[in-house]
């Protein structure tokens, strides 16, 4: 599949979709507390997306080859769950860490983002993992500019994560995004500087490192979707959708209440114009 370079009108539509995805995470944050189930979180997000935003939850019934349809509107991955956790009757408890992954479709375009949330007071080790994973994502974002290469992104993430004593999950990666949920290119979260596809203005893709406190090996649960660490160590993930601009990078998945609002200020400035 060829890489899709976005036109100015398509970029404008992706800014809207990205902002809306971020706003779902803004909305759900206060509900992430002990005693709440991930199914309740899914329903709140679904109702907000469909009833308030007028967006379509992209994960619901998503069915790539070899998979059965995904049954929920969001992904909720707790503690040692790496990604694609299926919401259910799991009750959140004090000390849990939780990734909520949101993808909305608005006017035919996808916005894809995730954040880590903490329940009550997590351990120092859990908070550090979440913070380092966020910094690893930003290390990758900082490498995005015309003329840079995909390997520069992966190398920056890998260097920061492994330098902190963590491991990078290799089986899952970032991806191109636009009218399609998953487009080319694949964006690895490890690699060598100066290698891989050259970045050019108009590309849009996600950067979404999954970082484990222990070893990098993973396994899939019986539901056919949820991925966990093989050694049961904690895992964390942060994700943004980004645009390669003529001069650098624009983060598309930001909103007024986003924790990354100030860091991604150029995206807010551009989308306001």
What are 169-220's pLDDT values in tens digits?
Answer: 999 999 999 999 999 999 999 999 999 999 999 999 999 999 999 999 999 9
- Residue whose entry in the numeric block shows the structure tokens 């636009």: 178
Residue 37 gets which letter from DSSP? Answer: B
In whole angstroms, what separates CA 168 from the centre of its chain? 15
- Are 19 and 251 contacting, i.e. CB atoms less than 8 angstroms apart? no
Compute the distance between CA of residue 207 and CA of residue 115 in angstroms, rounded to an integer. Answer: 12
Compute the distance between CA of residue 109 and CA of residue 43 in angstroms, rounded to an integer. Answer: 22
Q: What are phi and psi of 208, to 5 degrees?
A: -150, 65
What pLDDT is recorded for position 265?
A: 72
What pLDDT is recorded for position 1?
A: 61
In whole angstroms, what separates CA 169 from the centre of its chain? 14
What pLDDT is recorded for position 262?
A: 87
Per DSSP (E only), the strands in 25-151 are 56-57, 75-78, 81-83, 97-106, 109-118
Preceding omega of 191 cis (within 30 degrees of 0): no
Residue 64 gets which letter from DSSP? Answer: -
Compute the distance between CA of residue 243 and CA of residue 153 in angstroms, rounded to an integer. Answer: 14
Q: Nearest CA to 250 among 271, 233, 229?
A: 271
Compute the distance between CA of residue 259 and CA of residue 273 in angstroms, rounded to an integer. Answer: 22
Q: Where are the domains of the chain?
A: 8-272
Compute the distance between CA of residue 133 and CA of residue 10 in angstroms, rounded to an integer. Answer: 30
Task: Record the pTM.
Answer: 0.95
CATH 3.40.50.2300 for domain 8-272: no
What pLDDT is recorded for position 266?
A: 57
Compute the distance between CA of residue 188 and CA of residue 149 in angstroms, rounded to an integer. Answer: 11
CB contact burial 34-67 (16+ within 10 A = b; e otherwise): eebebbebbebbbebbeeebebebbbbebeeeee
Which stretches of the chain score pLDDT less than 70? 1, 266-273
- Residues pairing with 244 in the sheet: 249
């Amino acid at each position: 599949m060829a890489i899709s370079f976005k036109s100015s009108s398509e970029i404008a539509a992706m800014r809207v979709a990205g902002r809306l995805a971020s706003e779902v995470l803004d909305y759900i944050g206060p509900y992430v507390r002990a005693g709440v189930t991930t199914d309740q979180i899914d329903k709140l997000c679904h109702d907000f997306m469909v009833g308030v935003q007028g967006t379509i939850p992209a994960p619901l019934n998503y069915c790539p080859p070899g998979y059965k349809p995904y049954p929920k509107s969001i992904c909720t991955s707790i503690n040692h769950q790496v990604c694609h956790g299926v919401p259910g009757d799991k009750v959140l408890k004090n000390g849990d860490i939780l990734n909520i992954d949101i993808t909305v479709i608005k006017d035919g375009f996808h916005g894809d983002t995730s954040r880590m949330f903490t329940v009550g007071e997590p351990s120092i080790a859990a908070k550090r993992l979440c913070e380092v994973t966020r910094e690893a994502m930003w290390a990758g974002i900082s490498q995005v500019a015309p003329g840079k290469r995909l390997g520069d992104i992966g190398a920056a993430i890998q260097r920061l994560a492994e330098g902190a004593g963590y491991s990078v999950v290799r089986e899952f990666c970032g991806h191109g995004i636009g009218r399609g949920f998953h487009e080319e290119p694949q964006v690895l979260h490890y690699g060598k500087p100066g290698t891989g596809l050259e970045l050019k203005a108009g590309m849009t893709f996600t950067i979404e490192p999954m970082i484990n406190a222990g070893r990098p090996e993973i396994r899939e649960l019986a539901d056919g979707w949820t991925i966990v660490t093989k050694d049961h160590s904690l895992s964390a993930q942060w994700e943004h959708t980004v645009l390669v601009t003529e001069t650098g990078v624009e983060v598309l998945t930001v909103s007024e209440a986003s924790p990354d609002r100030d860091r991604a200020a150029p995206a807010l400035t551009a989308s306001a114009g």
